[in-house]
């Protein structure tokens, strides 16, 4: 289900089906029950606070998206996305944000099932918490970018794709990743952009 504070969602059903298919292809099989709702909101950080009694834990940073596991648990989960992403004809950043947060959702629920007796509230108390936290951040970043550039690969030539991806990564502030992708591309170690972006992220993780 998709909810939005805005009136106009350009071809959002088509986009959603494509993004979910890409996510499933790269994430692999899952036995997790994903009862989630997608919600577009003008302020992700503020909306996220509505799901928690402790508002301070949510922070105030501007976000393109967020995965929400409500406290106390309700049996329903949320992926919040910034409304401005749904109004743009350019959907690739939206794909990256959505699949990034969906990856977190599956990661956290799988961890809760394996280590916390299905109680995700206990995840931060587990001995593996910090290792899991950083692993999921890497996993979500890798999968989100992979889905995004897989879409781009169908509409752009390789050189255009490389330049666009390089600029995108520079804007995100990850100059080391950007420079490493350039070295991989120049060496010709990978057959396509999706694979060498994956290698770069894996190398720097």
Which pLDDT value is given to residue 57?
61
Give the range among 3-12, 143-152, 165-174, 183-192 with minimum mean pLDDT: 183-192
CA–CA distance, 86 with 115 (Å, rounded to integer): 36
pTM: 0.75
Which pLDDT value is given to residue 93?
81
Q: Tell me the pLDDT band of 6, cut-offs 50, 70 and 90.
A: very low
Q: Tell me the pLDDT band of 205, cut-offs 50, 70 and 90.
A: very low
Q: Count CA within 13 A, CB hemisphere, residue 61.
A: 7
Residues 44-64 pLDDT 10s: 988 988 887 665 665 666 788
Share of the chain above pLDDT 90, in %: 24
| Residue pair 20/38 in contact by the 8 Å Cβ criterion | no
């Amino acid at each position: 289900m998709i909810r939005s504070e805005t009136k106009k969602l350009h071809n959002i059903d088509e986009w959603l089906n494509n993004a979910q298919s890409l996510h499933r292809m790269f994430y692999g099989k899952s036995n997790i029950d994903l009862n989630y709702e997608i919600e577009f909101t003008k302020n992700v950080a503020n909306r996220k606070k509505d799901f928690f009694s402790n508002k301070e834990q949510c922070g105030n940073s501007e976000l393109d998206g967020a995965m929400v596991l409500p406290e106390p648990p309700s049996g329903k989960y949320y992926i919040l996305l910034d409304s401005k992403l749904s109004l743009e004809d350019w959907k690739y950043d939206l794909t990256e944000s959505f699949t990034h947060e969906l990856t977190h959702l599956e990661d956290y629920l799988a961890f809760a099932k394996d280590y916390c007796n299905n109680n995700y509230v206990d995840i931060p108390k587990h001995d593996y918490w910090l290792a899991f936290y950083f692993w999921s951040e890497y996993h979500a970043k890798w999968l989100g970018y992979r889905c995004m550039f897989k879409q781009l690969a169908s509409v752009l030539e390789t050189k255009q794709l490389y330049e666009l991806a390089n600029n995108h990564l520079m804007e995100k502030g990850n100059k080391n990743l950007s420079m490493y992708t350039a070295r991989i591309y120049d060496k010709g170690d990978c057959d396509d952009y999706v694979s060498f972006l994956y290698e770069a992220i894996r190398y720097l993780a």
